[in-house]
């Protein structure tokens, strides 16, 4: 993303840039090492739930093979609760859940499933049921006593400090005596999210539409993908961005609106959720799935993309207008999963160049993970035709390149006073340092290592970016990772002068996955009063 685009985004969202790191009291409950998989009642049934329905959905999860494909959590959303008893204990609706919550948990556990419930940080839930404000400890104890495995915690009817309330419930769950996955539902990325929850919603509520439908409103799949991509650098084992639950198979019959999608669009929805390491929470009626829906939801190779143990959220690496190339680093040397997304209304050919996914330019094998078919061995890149609104999801195995960023001067003019600043994320914490590289008329290697820093209240600072070597040769700055730890995200800022005039731009990546090639060119841009800003740093 260019600095200008990101700046524009910043105007509509305060969440993207310079989010301060937080040291205090991390979550670290050891849960959600890969994204949660399960089912939730809301997208199909809203408040119209009872224990018979939940039993039937749970039974279908087993009989359809969903459980064995990895879906384990059966999550009650809003409306399971009606009141509190005289002692303040939260009580399930006695008409709809006559056997009680403990019995429901036992029913699920007996079938190898897990039990999820819903509450809200405010006085009332979004549907007006009792919220947990002031009852956090008591509610967490109730959940633990029923055998609850996951809590989705919503954001309605709340006037107290949001971060504090989400932390209060996090601490209450931690003290409850049971391991409970904490799913934050605050409808937007929050800087404190990764240290508070195991997953956190990055968007408003999803509707059953592929693209914006003015008569439904809400958040369609294509817009959610664009938005969720902004927060990719925060995803890792233990914390995942949640672009909301699946609509696959609802065909416009759901409870939250939308005209439904084609099977191609549902496949795109599912493939992109998998590429983005999103929680896979089905939201359809599991008792009446057609073959297309079942095939999409249970495809083992697509699920494996989502569940890859590295926990990387794939990101857009090349934007060709209506055609986009996305890439996710997965376990193994030289392995990437690539999504070729055709947003256009007619079929189009899309090309992925191995260099754009951090692989060497030689040969690589390609397997279509949706079709579960090998496509062959290809040199330099691969081209295929993708249907309208479709995604080709490909597993590419080629030659790994070092984790590094190469910035090559393509401006024919002299670039002087170059300063490179890196901000990078290790374990949810920012690290920050810069290095002066002088005149870019030779090759410089900068070493990047977050060890040995000191915490300044916002980030780890110190000599983290240091000059490794400097030699005659092409005008290239190479940032080489010498830290053995995984760097989930990095933002590189460059300031430099051309003809004595100051220039500035930045790019960000999540994570470093092989060698990324950028070019540096001071042409274009606009004067902002102190310096030229523009798309000076960009994909080569
Ligand atoms: C909010 C949430 C939804 C759902 C409803 C329930 O809108 O974002 O996912 O839980 O509340 O009322």
Structure-token match 């430099």, residue found: 496
Q: What residue spans in the chain does CATH classification 3.20.20.70 cover?
A: 34-306
Q: Are 54 and 42 in contact (CB under 8 A)?
A: no
Lowest mean pLDDT among 412-421, 497-506, 508-517: 508-517
| pLDDT (average), residues 155-177 | 98
Strand partners, 320: 323
**Mind giving me the DSSP string for 144-210?**
HHHT--EEEEE--S--S-HHHHHHHHHHHHHTTTS--EEEE--SS--TTGGGT-SEEE-SS-B-S-S
| pLDDT (average), residues 6-18 | 37
Give the SS3 label for residue 55.
Answer: helix
| pLDDT (average), residues 40-62 | 98
**Mind giving me the DSSP string for 33-53?**
SS--EEEESHHHHTT---HHH
For 394-405, write each residue's pLDDT tens digit: 999 999 999 999
Q: Report the atom number in ligand 1 closest to the C-alpha of 127.
A: 12
Nearest CA to ligand 1 atom 5: 126
Residue 18 has a pLDDT of 39
Residue 487 has a pLDDT of 93
Tokens of 194: 């990764």
Residue 4 has a pLDDT of 41
| pLDDT (average), residues 106-129 | 98
Lowest mean pLDDT among 1-10, 225-234, 313-322: 1-10
For 329-371, write each residue's pLDDT tens digit: 999 999 999 999 999 999 999 999 999 999 999 999 999 999 9
Assess whether pLDDT exceeds 60 at residue 125: yes
Q: What residue spans in the chain does CATH classification 2.60.40.1180 cover?
A: 315-397
Fold (CATH) for 315-397: Immunoglobulin-like (2.60.40)
Tokens of 525: 């841009």
| CA-wise closest residue to 269 among 288, 234, 293, 253 | 293
Q: Are 238 and 33 in contact (CB under 8 A)?
A: yes
Residues 77, 149, 154, 356: which is the catalytic one?
154
Assess whether pLDDT exceeds 60 at residue 16: no
Q: Is residue 421 very low, low, confident or very high in pLDDT (cuts 50, 70, 90)? A: very high
Residue 26 has a pLDDT of 63
Assess whether pLDDT exceeds 90 at residue 126: yes
Q: How far apart are CA 349 and CA 205, in angstroms?
A: 32
Residue 531 has a pLDDT of 98
Assess whether pLDDT exceeds 90 at residue 173: yes
- Look up 93 and say whether it is catalytic: no
Structure-token match 């060698």, residue found: 515
User: What does pLDDT average to over the chain?
Assistant: 94
Q: How far apart are CA 480 and CA 468, in angstroms?
A: 9
Give the SS3 label for residue 73.
Answer: strand
Which of 40, 76, 77 most suits a substitution to test ligand 1, by most atoms within 8 Å of the C-beta? 77
- Look up 154 and say whether it is catalytic: yes
Assess whether pLDDT exceeds 60 at residue 13: no
Residue 270, CB-side half-sphere exposure with 13 Å CA sphere: 29
CB-defined site of ligand 1, < 6 Å:
42, 77-78, 125-127, 154, 185, 187, 205
For 440-482, write each residue's pLDDT tens digit: 999 999 999 999 999 999 999 999 999 999 999 999 999 999 9
Q: Report the atom number in ligand 1 closest to the C-alpha of 77.
A: 10
Which of 117, 121, 205, 242 most suits a substitution to test ligand 1, by most atoms within 8 Å of the C-beta? 205
Q: How far apart are CA 245 and CA 540, in angstroms?
A: 36
The share of the chain scoring above pLDDT 90, in percent, equals 91
Residue 1 has a pLDDT of 35
Q: What kind of architecture, by CATH, is found in domain 34-306?
A: Alpha-Beta Barrel (3.20)
Give just the sign of the alpha carbon dihedral 13, 20, 240, 356. Answer: positive
Q: How far apart are CA 424 and CA 403, in angstroms?
A: 14
Interval between CA 159 and ligand 1 midpoint (Å): 17
Beta strands, E only, 312-389 = 315-320, 323-329, 335-342, 348-353, 363-368, 373-379, 381-386
Residue 14 has a pLDDT of 33
Q: How far apart are CA 428 and CA 189, in angstroms?
A: 14
Q: Is residue 491 very low, low, confident or very high in pLDDT (cuts 50, 70, 90)? A: very high
For 218-238, write each residue's pLDDT tens digit: 999 999 999 999 999 999 999
């Amino acid at each position: 993303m260019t600095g200008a685009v990101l700046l524009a985004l910043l105007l509509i969202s305060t969440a993207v840039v310079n989010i301060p790191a937080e040291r205090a009291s991390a979550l670290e409950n050891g849960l959600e090492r890969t994204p949660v998989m399960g089912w939730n009642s809301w997208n199909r049934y809203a408040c119209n739930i009872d224990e018979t329905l939940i039993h039937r959905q749970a039974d279908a999860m087993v009989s359809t093979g969903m459980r064995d494909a990895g879906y384990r959590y059966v999550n009650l959303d809003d409306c399971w609760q009606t009141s509190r008893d005289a002692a303040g204990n939260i009580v399930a609706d006695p008409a709809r859940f006559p056997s009680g919550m403990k019995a429901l948990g036992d029913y699920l556990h007996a079938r190898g499933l897990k039990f999820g419930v819903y509450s809200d940080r405010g006085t009332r839930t979004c549907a007006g049921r009792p919220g947990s404000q002031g009852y956090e400890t008591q509610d967490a104890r109730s959940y633990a006593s029923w055998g609850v495995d996951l809590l989705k915690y919503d954001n309605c009817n709340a006037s107290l400090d949001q971060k504090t309330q989400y932390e209060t419930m996090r601490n209450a769950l931690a003290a409850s005596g049971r391991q409970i996955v904490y799913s934050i539902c605050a409808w937007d990325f929050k800087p404190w999210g990764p240290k508070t929850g195991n997953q956190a919603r990055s968007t408003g509520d999803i509707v059953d539409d592929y693209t914006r439908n003015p008569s439904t409103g809400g958040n369609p799949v294509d817009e959610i993908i664009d938005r969720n991509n902004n927060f990719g650098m925060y995803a890792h084992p233990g914390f995942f961005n949640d672009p909301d639950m699946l609509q696959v198979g609802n065909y416009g019959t759901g409870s939250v609106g939308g005209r439904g999608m084609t099977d191609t669009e549902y496949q795109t929805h599912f493939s992109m959720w998998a590429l983005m390491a999103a929680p896979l929470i089905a939201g359809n009626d599991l008792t009446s799935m057609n073959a297309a829906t079942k095939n999409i939801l249970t495809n083992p190779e697509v699920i494996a993309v989502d569940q890859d143990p590295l926990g990387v959220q794939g990101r857009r690496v090349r934007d060709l207008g209506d055609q986009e190339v996305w890439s996710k680093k997965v376990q193994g040397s030289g392995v990437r999963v690539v999504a070729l997304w055709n947003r256009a209304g007619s079929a189009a050919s899309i090309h992925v160049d191995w260099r754009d996914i951090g692989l060497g330019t030689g040969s690589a094998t390609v397997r279509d993970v949706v079709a579960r078919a090998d496509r062959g061995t290809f040199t330099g890149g691969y081209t295929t035709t993708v249907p309208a609104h479709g995604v080709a999801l490909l597993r590419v195995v080629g030659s790994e390149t070092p984790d590094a960023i190469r910035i090559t001067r393509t401006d024919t003019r002299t670039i002087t006073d170059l300063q490179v600043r890196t901000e990078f994320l290790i374990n949810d914490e920012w690290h920050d340092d810069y290095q002066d590289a002088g005149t870019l008329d030779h090759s410089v290697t900068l070493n990047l290592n977050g060890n040995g820093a000191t915490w300044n209240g916002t980030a780890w600072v110190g000599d983290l970016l240091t000059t490794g070597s400097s030699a005659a040769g092409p005008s290239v700055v190479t940032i080489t990772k010498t830290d053995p730890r995984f760097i989930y995200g990095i933002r590189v800022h460059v300031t430099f002068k051309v003809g004595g005039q100051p220039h500035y731009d930045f790019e960000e990546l999540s994570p470093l996955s092989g060698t990324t090639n950028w070019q540096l060119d001071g042409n274009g841009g606009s004067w902002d009063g102190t310096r030229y800003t523009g798309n000076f740093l960009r994909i080569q």
